[in-house]
Amino acid sequence: MDLTITLSSRQDEDLMEVSGALDHATVRHLREVLFGLLDAGRCRITVEMSGLRILDAASIRVLLWLRDRAGQAGGDLRLWGATGTVLTALEITGVAKQFHAYDQVSWPQSQRDRQVVDLGSMRVGHDQWPAQVDDLLDRLHTMRAGGPGRDRVRDTIIELCLPAAHRLARRYAGRGEIKEELTQVASLALVKAVDGFDVTRGVEFGAYATPTILGELRRYFRDQSAGIRMPRRLQELRLAAGHAHELLTQRLGRSPTTADVAGHLDVGEDEIVEMLSASSAHRPLSLNAPGPGSDHDNATLMDVVGGDDPAFGLVEYRRSIEVIMAGVSERAQRIISLRFYGNLTQAEIAREVGLSQMHVARLLQQTLSLLRRRLTE
């Protein structure tokens, strides 16, 4: 193999010295070594390229991808010492400045411990998943459920693949969710992928596990970001209805009806209607959103939202007073009406009804006491 890699470390930085040729055949080994550093939390990495003779476009794409992964972990991937055709390749692809290829790095020879990486014995896959997993999955497939050693093989597969699952989780870092939560979702999805993988289909495990884990991560974000969380049954029905709508549109040559979709999915029309209603309420409107007919003013939904009418609490008392007042004399009713609805003084009421002011005061006192007593009973 025309590639040599040595590693040196100091504090939280790592130096990777690469010499030989970095192309489509050898970049997998570089990727595997960098994966190991990133998985160990070593995300500030400098790749020294003074001894590199060949750097192709495929390797540059891999380096860019790894640089993004290092950035998501809070670090950076730098290229240093590139000259000749290697530097030209970085410049032609427009990534030289992104990798800080023109910057000088202070890493004296005396501080480099240069641990040689044994690339010859390294097993690498075609993607980020460990190559030895395929052999273990074949072995797991031949073992009887509950048989001796099966759980141990299964646990080994999961342990080997956990770093790859965590790398997929880091793609969604920085989106407002706790990193540990994303890691847990990816880990559980990995277990689901291991248990659901069928080796007889002839596909690589990574081709099955990657979409499985990414799908669970997307579903987690969809569930967590919803303002109003739909039941899982309706969420799954909405996805199935979306696929059915596209299929039936092509098959029927028109937009399918609710009955068409329900018949295709073998569910009741009321379930489709319930799903559509829940979907329309998936996200609540902001009360600061423009209100209806607010094209020419600054009215918001808050301005048209009703509130509690203070008079609601008086309805019961008013109805009770009507019943109680029907049982008092007409003269007392007139005095109460003139006092509280006509806003007359006791002297004015006395002249109006032909009584003395003292008599009016006594009738008011008696009637009001009766009302208080009856209302509190």
121 in a structural domain: no
What separation in angstroms does the CA of 247 have from each of 240, 274, 359, 364?
11, 21, 89, 81
Amino acid identity at 122: M
15 and 87 share one domain: yes
127 in a structural domain: no
Exposure string over 353-365, b if 16+ CB within 10 A, otherwise e: eebeeeebeebbe
190 in a structural domain: yes
CA 45-49-55 angle, 5° bins = 110
Q: Report residue 127's pLDDT band, with 50, 70 and 90 as the boundaries.
A: low
Number of domains in the chain: 4
Please count the other Cβ atoms lying within 10 Å of the Cβ belonging to residue 109: 7
Cα–Cα distance measured from residue 49 to residue 101, given in angstroms and rounded to the nearest whole number? 10
Q: Report residue 181's pLDDT band, with 50, 70 and 90 as the boundaries.
A: confident
Cα–Cα distance measured from residue 73 to residue 352, given in angstroms and rounded to the nearest whole number? 90
321 and 357 share one domain: yes
Which token pair is 245? 């709508």
Q: Answer for the pair 73, 43: CB distance below 8 angstroms, yes or no.
A: yes
240 and 345 share one domain: no
Q: Report the DSSP beta bridge partners of residue 45.
A: 14, 77
154 and 221 share one domain: yes
Which token pair is 285? 């409107």
Cα–Cα distance measured from residue 284 to residue 282, given in angstroms and rounded to the nearest whole number? 7
Q: SS3 for 9?
A: strand
Check pLDDT > 80 for residue 355: yes
Cα–Cα distance measured from residue 251 to residue 264, given in angstroms and rounded to the nearest whole number? 12
Mean pLDDT of 150-159: 86
pLDDT digits (tens, 9 = 90+) for 297-347: 677 777 777 777 777 777 887 888 888 888 888 888 888 888 888 888 988
123 in a structural domain: no
Q: Domain residues for 335?
A: 315-376
Q: SS3 for 47?
A: strand
How much is the pLDDT for 26?
83
240 and 200 share one domain: no
Residue with tokens 């008079």: 311
DSSP secondary structure letter of residue 303: H
| Model pTM score | 0.45
Domain CATH number, residue 78: 3.30.750.24
Consecutive H or E run containing 79: strand 76-80
94 in a structural domain: yes
Consecutive H or E run containing 110: none
Q: Answer for the pair 304, 292: CB distance below 8 angstroms, yes or no.
A: yes
Check pLDDT > 80 for residue 174: no
Cα–Cα distance measured from residue 19 to residue 22, given in angstroms and rounded to the nearest whole number? 8
Q: What is the largest CA-CA distance in the chain?
A: 123
The strand order across the sheet containing 3-10 reads 76-80, 44-55, 13-22, 3-10, 115-116
299 in a structural domain: no
Q: CA nearest 164: which of 126, 115, 218? A: 126
211 and 141 share one domain: yes
290 in a structural domain: no
37 and 109 share one domain: yes
254 and 155 share one domain: no
153 and 99 share one domain: no
Check pLDDT > 60 for residue 253: yes
7 and 111 share one domain: yes
pLDDT digits (tens, 9 = 90+) for 42-75: 889 999 999 999 898 888 988 888 888 888 778 8
Strand pairing of 13-22 and 44-55?
Answer: parallel
Q: SS3 for 133?
A: helix
230 in a structural domain: no
How much is the pLDDT for 79?
92
Amino acid identity at 159: E
273 and 202 share one domain: no
